[in-house]
Structure 1
Amino acid sequence: MPTLYLDYMSQPSRACAIFIKLNHMPVDLSNVLIHKGETRADAFRKLNPLGKVPFLTDGELALPESAAILVYLAQKYGAPHHWYPPRKDSQACAMADAALHWYHSNIRAGAARLVFNTVIAKRLGKVPNPAYAEEGLTILNFALDQLEGYWLRGGTQSFMLGQQVSLADLLCTCELEQLCMMDKAKHGTDLQDQLSARPIAKLWLDRVRGAAQPAYADAHSLLWRASGTIARPKM
């Protein structure tokens, strides 16, 4: 049986866990806690020298990177094609891959940099970099504009690749949820602030949350508790 090593405080880990649970895939979920240094431990480094989660093993396969893991599982277990198209549909696969690449270099690049340098760095005993936080916010603002204008077609498309939820939607929303760790009064922005002037993105986020229940709420319960002052979103 495949094993997914994950930490529910990790955005892409949550996306993988949600996808696995929604599609009832026989994959063992093994917690590796980043804040306890478990990703740096020798035992985990022997499995994954990169020292990051999520990470999947399946027989001789040792697979890093969330997008690769999600695509592999979709193909291995024959997930419904709205998640990821069949390989014979080369054009649909090309667009799905483009969305996954875009997520990593835009939504994740901005949101992860912003949240790490405003909240997470201090919790890990590291020094936050305000310049990196500002850079992350700039990238995120640009990415959210692209999300609404290009991927959601100005609101005429319900999800990034059409009218049904996809792997790209799941990765992007899990990344944005991390902003609930922020407090506008302390950090200048938070998830609610980012979406307040973006009704198309807000509706899309609500759609993805709804389409991925109950696994979505289960996977985010730890994050929502850890966020403290931020109330759990209504589903």
Structure 2
Amino acid sequence: MGLDLYLDLMSQPCRAVYIFAKKNGIPFQLRTVELLKGQHYTDSFAQVNPLRKVPALKDEDFILAESVAILLYLSHKYKTPDHWYPQDLQARAWVDEYLSWQHTALRSCCTWAMWQKMMFPVVLHQLVPQETLSYTLAELDSCLQLLETKFLRDQAFLTGPQISVADLMAITELMHPVSTGCQVFECRPKLDAWRRHVEAVVREDLFQEAHTVVLKAKDMPPLPAPTLKEKLLHSVWILLQ
């Protein structure tokens, strides 16, 4: 028995956990849970995570859910480089501040942007009113502005001169609207430079590997089964909690 990570790389936080583990050479067994097939609703997965969400971690007899908790557990157990989650009180507090903010801000608008631009109309055959989409994209733009002015400022990374788990959580969120054609980094040179810094530290090949699934999502065939559609609609509400 060893470390098992239950992931679906369609999921933003799953990608963050995957990149973190791979980048830091943490040995793990990937247990893929395909959300679009409803595999998180199976009884077998409920034994791992009764919340029926990914990511989830199983380390011998220890089970853990929630992406931030998993990232911090891995950073402590495997003693990853300090910059990921600093020991310095104030540096760590800045990482915590970003992680607390993004959960109800960037995560929400990035998820809705993908679902409203692609998943609802293309996969689920449900039209989204233009005013609803326009509101979501305006919210996304406001979050991008805050990323630049509040968090990034004149630094290379969101919370300081080195990459942290905050940057992984942010970049994987932003790739959701990017996958639908949103020009997230266009006309934002500071944010684009940050993206290139993150990709360079992570390694471009690993970054692309982690995002292959989501970047191909636009080619996904429609889902015919009404019951699965209902479950997916329920899933998006869970994702936004």
Does the alignment reach a TM-score above 0.5?
yes
Change beyond 3 A, Cα 1:227–1:211? farther
Mapped pair 1:106 → 2:105: yes
Whether the aligned pair in 2 keeps the contact of 1:109 and 1:136 (CA below 8 Å) is no
- Partner-residue secondary structure (3-state), 1:163: coil
Alpha-carbon distance in 2 for matches of 1:126, 1:11: 23
1:93 aligned residue: 92
* Aligned counterpart, 2:77: 76
Deviation at 1:93, TM superposition (A): 1.9
Partner of 2:236: none
Q: 1:150 and 1:122 mapped to 2: Cα distance?
A: 34
Query: Does 2:52 correspond to 1:51?
Result: yes
CA contact (8 A) 2:121 2:128 kept: no
* Structure 2 CA distance for partners of 1:177 and 1:90, relative to 1, 3 Å: same
In the aligned structure 1, how far is the partner of 2:66 from the partner of 2:43?
20
Query: In percent, how many aligned pairs have the same letter?
Result: 37
Aligned residue number for residue 147 of structure 2: 147
Which residue in 1 is equivalent to 2:163? 165
SS at match of 1:63: strand
**Aligned residue in 2 for 1:212:** 202
Q: 1:37 to 1:122 in 2, by over 3 A?
A: farther
Q: Distance in 2 between matches of 1:128 and 1:108?
A: 22
SS of residue matched to 1:78: coil
CA contact (8 A) 1:110 1:135 kept: no
Relative to the length of structure 2, the TM-score reads 0.83
Residue segments in structure 2 that go unaligned for 5+ positions in a row: 220-241
Matches within 5 A, 1:174-189: 174-183=172-181
TM-superposed deviation, 1:177: 1.0
Q: Does 1:39 align with 2:40?
A: yes
Q: TM-score, normalised by structure 1?
A: 0.85
Aligned length: 216
SS in structure 1 opposite 2:95? Answer: helix
Flag structure 1 segments of 5+ consecutive residues without an equivalent: 184-189, 229-235
- Please tell me the root mean square deviation across aligned C-alpha atoms, in Å: 1.9
Equivalent AA in structure 2 for residue 198 of structure 1 = R
**Cα distance change on mapping 1:59 and 1:135 into 2, 3 Å:** farther
